[in-house]
A = this chain, B = another copy of it.
Amino acid sequence: MRAEIIAVGSELLTPYRLDTNSLFLTGELNQVGVRVVHKAVVGDDPREMQTSFRHALERAELVISTGGLGPTDDDRTRETVAELLNRKLRCDEELLRKLQERFSRFGRPMPEINKRQAMVIEDATILPNPRGTAPGLWVEARGQIVILLPGVPHELHALFASEVKPRLEKLGIRERLFTRDLRISGLFESDVEQRVSPLYAQYPDTETTILATARGIELHPRIWSADPEHAEKVLNEMTERMALALGENLASTRGENMEELVAALLAENRATIAVAESCTGGMLAERITNVPGSSAYFLGGVVCYSNELKASLAGVPAELVREKGAVSLEVASALASGIRQRTGATLGLGVTGIAGPGGGTPEKPVGLVHIALASERGVREKLFQLPGDRDRIRQFAVLNALDMVRRHFRFPPPGRG
């Protein structure tokens, strides 16, 4: 089944707002076997809306809209679709009563304009909205389905789960989308592409999206199939061959991000961690503590921009900074061992570098970052020359620091067993 998603709302045609609901809807639709072939964004103008819905019905069996179901005059999705399908609008008495109840539960009389939200399209199924005043509508016409949903994300999510998904599942679509979510670190997007793209031709039924984010590179191979066994077999085989091509750079085949992997590895090894960071400015600690329950293994961290604080907070000898410079392997090491010692953590991570835009020199250009990991095995350091602007350099530095922790546990030096 082919679907089109229409996002209604003039604010979505400004430079400030994106239609993010369609990502949620696409994920949900794919799971019940529906492909999204087109997406549209249209303003509140009824004429524009009508052409959008008309065009959508020309190419898709299922049309889902979000937004434009509110109580104000700007909210015209109901009227537009009714007119397009030659249906009347009628006031649903039960819906009206429920709306009034909802308002009185919050101790307020229902404003007159909210009555519009009890207007429904003739012969449509009303989809009750547990989280808001705008109910959804499910309309079937000429063998096609049009579903009108509210635009407020948490209302949309709840309503989709309780009312839309069960109905779509009952359509009995046998085909499904099967996917994998691989996470890769330590390689650029083009490197990943080069290593895995030769596989694409060998699995012509599959499609793979490569995504370069601040959290690392993601690979999403996927296949549409009515045969789950076949689909899983293809994806398993493909994932195995991707794993061989990516080696130690493959961090997860289940979509875990780097801080989640590090969390699991620390817990598994009953280890704790503390950080001392300069150029990342707190982002490393922030990322680690982004995981709920991180207080079990994250002891704390220091952000030391000034050389004085490198000494007083992380115990980096002032003469070391003078001799080697604040951005040096030696200072990264001293940050890592210093914070490990001061906090008594199993692991200490130290980061120092030049995030820019200022502060670079020919010898130490913007993007140069030293990262060190101190453990009972001693200190390991790594030098990175990271691309991009200040934000990307900081993001990549954090990613690589966490990746050093992953490699520490996953790939211990030989001869320890």
Chain A residues within 8 Å of B, Cβ to Cβ: 10-20, 22-24, 26-27, 30, 35-43, 45, 48, 51-52, 55, 58-59, 207, 209, 211, 218, 220, 222, 275, 280-290, 292-295, 298-306, 308-309, 312-313, 342-343, 356-358, 390-391
Contact = CB atoms under 8 A, between A and B. Distances in A.
Given A284-B282, A292-B356, A18 B18 contact: yes
B26 A13 contact: yes
Contacts of A312: 342-343
A286 B281 contact: yes
Given A284-B282, A300-B302, A309 B41 contact: no
B303 A301 contact: yes
Contacts of A211: 16-17
Given A48-B38, A59-B51, A306-B299, A218 B16 contact: yes
Contacts of A308: 299
Contacts of A27: 15
- The dominant DSSP class at the A interface is mixed
Contacts of A55: 51, 55
20 contacts: A11-B209, A13-B26, A14-B209, A14-B220, A18-B18, A22-B41, A39-B40, A48-B59, A281-B286, A281-B288, A281-B294, A282-B301, A289-B303, A290-B391, A292-B356, A300-B306, A300-B309, A302-B302, A302-B303, A313-B313
Contacts of A293: 358
Contacts of A304: 300
Contacts of A39: 12-13, 40-41
A115 B335 CA distance: 53
Task: Report, nearest first, the 4 A-B pairs whose CB atoms are least far apart.
Answer: A281-B289, A282-B285, A15-B27, A282-B282
Given A11-B209, A13-B39, A305 B313 contact: no
Given A15-B30, A17-B209, A309-B343, A303 B290 contact: no
Nearest to A14: B209
Contacts of A289: 281-282, 303, 305
Contact of A390 (B11, B22, B38, B292): B292
Contacts of A16: 23, 209, 211, 218, 220
A11 B212 CA distance: 13
Contacts of A287: 282
A285 B292 contact: no
Contacts of A290: 281, 390-391
Nearest to A207: B10
Contact of A303 (B35, B207, B282): B282
Contacts of A281: 285-286, 288-290, 294, 298
Given A17-B209, A17-B211, A298-B305, 14 more contacts: A13-B37, A14-B220, A18-B18, A18-B20, A37-B45, A39-B40, A40-B41, A281-B286, A281-B290, A282-B286, A282-B301, A285-B285, A285-B286, A286-B286
